[in-house]
Structure 1
């Protein structure tokens, strides 16, 4: 890795998460009269949908239940999920660094599996080691994301888009808005781009989009 992984390290500061909050604030209020259509960066993770990848049909949204665990086998992610809100400064509050292996779910938004967009955030690293979403920029369309829910059911999502949004031109609607309003969707979000030593934060955010494609009901609920 480059030398920014040492010393002050690749520590994600509140500034990076404040970018996420700004997008969430705008998106949650349905603002449509702002010019938010800035291009994404040229990062290699912004792959969109590769030619030749056939994606499954969407599953109908299901009843709401809070997430408890998230598994992304292609990225070797198996992590507990905790609900998070906003911190005292008004920024979305990620899990603390001593829980860098935990994924935060924005509890003020949709629950995974119900109609809408469920938002999950996680650190890419800390000052000393990789964190839960260290490999998020390696996600590709066709990868699956499984979420174990509080009612015992497992909802499976299929990745259909991977984008990197510059911190200076963050597009709230593209990052958080539904691709199709009749679906249950989710986003996995972490920091990306390059590490800026001056501000001690990253220059972009990686946003992985997925939609519901399969549901395994809790034992005793099927049928």
Structure 2
């Protein structure tokens, strides 16, 4: 469950959101480092108490499409949520964490540019703010997406890589395993992770208690 900006303590503002990103994106950095320096973890989606939605019984999902040539993303759309946003490449900040889009760009999605390109084999990472100090941001409703929903990523040549959501999780920070959350479920597929902050707001630490991680895999292409 995402947290409306209005539930934050007065005066928390960007400092609070920055702490949430520090927790989330440092985890991404650690996962990326481990994947580069040694064998990466690969596992099926987690189920149980920490699963927000998971894969309900009876949901028919299409077969995976073969990975595409690697091209950078330019736009992402989730029609079922009414989300359509530009995508910009982001790198690492001075602390070694992935630098999210600036607060002045709350409706822009960041792609980890040193990682997998959407449509290529592996798991591409797209991150977005859940809210700002005054209003919801691009991934505010992300936890409401359901397995079977489509995610379309427009790439630099104008082609569209179409992904199908197969898992939605809210993962608590306590005992968080970056490799399990962000590593590919199937290394032979082209996968996508859509990531934002979630859970409840922890006043003691000044950060969200969890991360929303939506997993999808390539199922088609278009123009």
Q: TM-score scaled by structure 2?
A: 0.87
How many Å apart are 1:13 and its aligned residue?
1.8
Counting only pairs closer than 5 Å after superposition, residues 42-81 of structure 1 correspond to structure 2 as 42=49, 46-81=52-87
How many Å apart are 1:22 and its aligned residue?
2.6
SS in 1 for 2:174: helix
1:100-158 C-alpha deviation (Å, 9 max, x unpaired): 00000000100000101100000000110000000011011001100000011000000
SS in 2 for 1:95: coil
Alpha-carbon distance in 2 for matches of 1:87, 1:66: 20
SS in 1 for 2:24: helix
1:170-217 C-alpha deviation (Å, 9 max, x unpaired): 111221111111100000000000011232210100000000000125
Stretches of structure 1 that go unaligned for 5 or more consecutive residues are 218-223
SS in 1 for 2:204: coil
What RMSD, in angstroms, separates the aligned Cα atoms of the two structures? 2.5
SS in 2 for 1:205: strand
Give the direction of change, closer, same or farther, for the CA distance of 1:65–1:59 in structure 2 (3 Å limit): same
1:6-33 C-alpha deviation (Å, 9 max, x unpaired): 6235742234333332344235423569
1:186 to 192, 201, 211: 192
2:34 to 6, 29, 41: 29
For the 8 Å contact 1:188–1:209, the answer to whether it is kept is: yes
Q: TM-score scaled by structure 1?
A: 0.87
Give the direction of change, closer, same or farther, for the CA distance of 1:137–1:33 in structure 2 (3 Å limit): closer
For the 8 Å contact 2:5–2:134, the answer to whether it is kept is: no
- 1:205 match: 211
- 2:173 match: 167
1:127 aligns with 2:133: yes
